[in-house]
Amino acid sequence: TQRVVLLEHPLHGRARRAAIRLCSLAALGLLLLGALTYVPPLLVAYRSHGFWLSRSSYAEQPSVRFRHEVLLAALTDSGGGPVGWSSFAAFNRLLGTRLLPLRKAREEDSNQDGVTDLLRFQLELPLLPSERVVGIQLLLTFSYELHVSVINSTSPFAQDYDFVNIVETYQKRNVTTVLSGPSPIWVTGRSPDQPFVIQAFIHYPTELIVYPLPGFWEMVKFAWMQYISILLIFLWIFERIKIFLLRNQVLNMVPMSPLPPLLSHKEHRS
Cα separation of 232 and 234, whole Å? Answer: 6
Across the range 144-170, mean pLDDT stands at 69
Residue type, 240: R
Count of Cβ atoms closer than 10 Å to residue 73 Cβ: 16
Q: Determine contact, residues 99/124, Cβ cutoff 8 Å.
A: no
Residue 201 and residue 93 share a domain: yes
Does residue 264 lie within any of the structural domains?
Answer: no
Give the per-residue pLDDT at 59: 82
- Give 234-252 pLDDT, tens digit per residue: 989 888 887 777 777 666 6
Count of Cβ atoms closer than 10 Å to residue 59 Cβ: 9
Residues spanned by the domain of 33: 29-52+216-248
- Give 40-68 pLDDT, tens digit per residue: 888 888 877 667 767 777 788 888 899 89
Residue 105 and residue 48 share a domain: no
Residue 109 and residue 202 share a domain: yes
Does residue 173 lie within any of the structural domains?
Answer: no
Q: Determine contact, residues 196/99, Cβ cutoff 8 Å.
A: no
Q: Per-residue DSSP letters for 141-174? A: EEEEE----SS-TT---GGGG-HHHHHHHHHH--
Does residue 166 lie within any of the structural domains?
Answer: no
Smallest CA-to-CA distance from 148 within 101, 71, 211, 231 is with 211
Residue 199 and residue 134 share a domain: yes
Does residue 161 lie within any of the structural domains?
Answer: no
**Is residue 267 over pLDDT 50?**
no
Cα separation of 227 and 43, whole Å? Answer: 9
Residue 20 φ then ψ, to 5°: -140, 135
Q: How far is CA 255 from the centre of its chain?
A: 54
**Is residue 136 over pLDDT 80?**
yes
**Is residue 265 over pLDDT 50?**
no
Alpha helices by DSSP H, listed for 109-162, are none
Residue 88 and residue 220 share a domain: no
Count of Cβ atoms closer than 10 Å to residue 246 Cβ: 20
Give the count of domains, the chain. Answer: 2
Give the per-residue pLDDT at 210: 74
Residue 62 and residue 42 share a domain: no
- Please state the pTM of the whole predicted model: 0.55
Does residue 80 lie within any of the structural domains?
Answer: yes
What DSSP state is assigned to residue 12?
Answer: T
Residue 98 and residue 221 share a domain: no
Give the per-residue pLDDT at 149: 67
- Confidence tier at 16 by pLDDT (50, 70, 90): low
Residue 246: which residues within 8 A CB-CB, separation 6 or more?
9, 11, 18, 253
Residue 142 and residue 101 share a domain: yes
Does residue 33 lie within any of the structural domains?
Answer: yes
**Is residue 217 over pLDDT 70?**
yes
CA distances from 83 to 137, 186, 219 (A): 10, 18, 57
Residue 48 and residue 61 share a domain: no
Does residue 188 lie within any of the structural domains?
Answer: no
Does residue 135 lie within any of the structural domains?
Answer: yes
Residue 109 and residue 201 share a domain: yes
- Give 102-130 pLDDT, tens digit per residue: 889 999 998 888 889 999 999 998 888 87
Residue 118 and residue 76 share a domain: yes
Residue 105 and residue 35 share a domain: no
